[in-house]
Homo-oligomer: A and B are copies of this chain.
Amino acid sequence: MKRTSTRLADGRELLYFDRSDDADRSADDVRELRPAAASQLRHDRLLDEWVTFSPHRQDRTFLPADDLCPLCPSGPGRSTEIPAGDYEIAVLENRFPSFTAEVHGRCEVVCFTSRHDASFTSLSAERVRDVLEVLADRTAELSALPGVEQVFCFENRGREIGVTLQHPHGQIYAYPFVTPRTRRMLDVARAHRERTGGDLFAEILSDERAVGSRVVASNDSWTAFVPQAARWPYEVHIYPHRKVPDLVALDDAERAAFAPLYLEVLAGFDGLFDAPAPYVSGWHQAPVGADRHLARLHLELFTIRRASDKLKYLAGSESAMGAFVNDVLPEQAAERLRQACTSTQVKHPSSTRG
């Protein structure tokens, strides 16, 4: 892909990724914009964790009307975050970032397509593969920034989960610390290695493949399964069969094989309740520096919808104590997801999902 780096009016970086080498990316951002205010990090002594404060985010754009979408291409009389009249995949620094350079972090927005009414589930397998390549590009570049310790690529989808822009997009957080959940996973993996000599991630993957009842989909390079102790009503983890630390380390064949499998799983999520599933989908990558040998790239995907008209809320037990109560057994969740994948494929036989 052709990669073009430009700057927006307030100095933020905008990157275009194009299949065609002759894409013209010379359009300037003609808006008047003020630079974002700085974020602030504070250390929580009671939990030994970092919390980020971004008061400027209180006024971030909130569910704008479709014709005011800041992630659509620009047009006559209409200047968006992307000055071009069309684009394939665009990445830009977030205008209302949680992390700014002052705290050695950075937040980016990844526009998967210029089509406002699309969703990730409607992308072609080819585009999904290109998105993976873009995320690998961003992971490599952000990992090299001074002070960045972990790069997190994710997509929030659906108003129910707090999405404030409807245009299909993902996000990247480059954290100036190793996040609490990753730190916990790696502490547990280290203790497991010291105790048994084994690789915890590899054992989980091989056990899930051997048991089979929680596997939702698989191919030569990837396995998607509901974890044995899932926290969310419908939750799927997708592991590459080869142990790699991050998206940068995937080879072309693995990227190509991921696309149809992921589209199949997402179709299963959308088929559960005959309504688009509000979900969080996040790539767990190894930290930039410490403990890379303990980590393994994998994707964790979950929806908060537990029934057609009910959501799973994080109330007292989960929010205050971190103790999850799940109303859906993982084996039943896997069974329902397999059925939903199949019926979606039957309904759309012309799709490229394989």
Interface residues of A (CB under 8 A from B): 40, 42-55, 57-58, 62, 98, 152, 154-156, 161-163, 171, 173, 175, 177, 179-182, 184-185, 188-189, 191-192, 200-201, 204, 227-231, 280, 282, 284, 300, 302, 306-307, 310-317, 319-329, 332
Contacts and interface: CB of A to CB of B under 8 A. Distances in A.
18 contacts: A45-B192, A46-B185, A46-B200, A46-B227, A47-B185, A47-B188, A48-B191, A52-B324, A53-B328, A55-B329, A57-B327, A98-B317, A156-B316, A161-B315, A175-B323, A180-B322, A282-B316, A284-B320
A281 to B, nearest CB: 8
Contact of A152 (B42, B189, B320): B320
Contacts of A313: 161-162
Given A180-B322, A280-B316, A284-B320, 8 more contacts: A45-B200, A155-B316, A156-B316, A173-B317, A177-B323, A282-B321, A302-B319, A314-B314
Given A58-B306, A154-B320, A162 B46 contact: no
Given A55-B329, A315-B156, A321 B179 contact: yes
Given A152-B316, A313-B161, A315-B162, A47 B181 contact: yes
Copies of this polypeptide in the complex:
2
A336 to B, nearest CB: 12
Contacts of A311: 162
Contacts of A316: 152, 154-156, 171, 173, 280, 282
Nearest to A153: B316
Contacts of A320: 152, 154, 181, 280, 282, 284, 300
Contact of A184 (B47, B50, B326): B47
Contacts of A327: 53-55, 57-58
A175 B282 CA distance: 30
Nearest to A189: B46
Contacts of A189: 46
A320 to B, nearest CB: 4
A323 to B, nearest CB: 4
Query: Counting chain B CB atoms within 10 Å of each CB, which of A52, A328, A332 scores highest?
Result: A52
Contacts of A55: 327-329, 332
A261 to B, nearest CB: 20
Q: Which 4 A-B pairs have the closest CB atoms?
A: A162-B313, A180-B322, A179-B321, A44-B229
Nearest to A201: B46
Contact of A227 (B44, B62, B98): B44
B52 A326 contact: yes
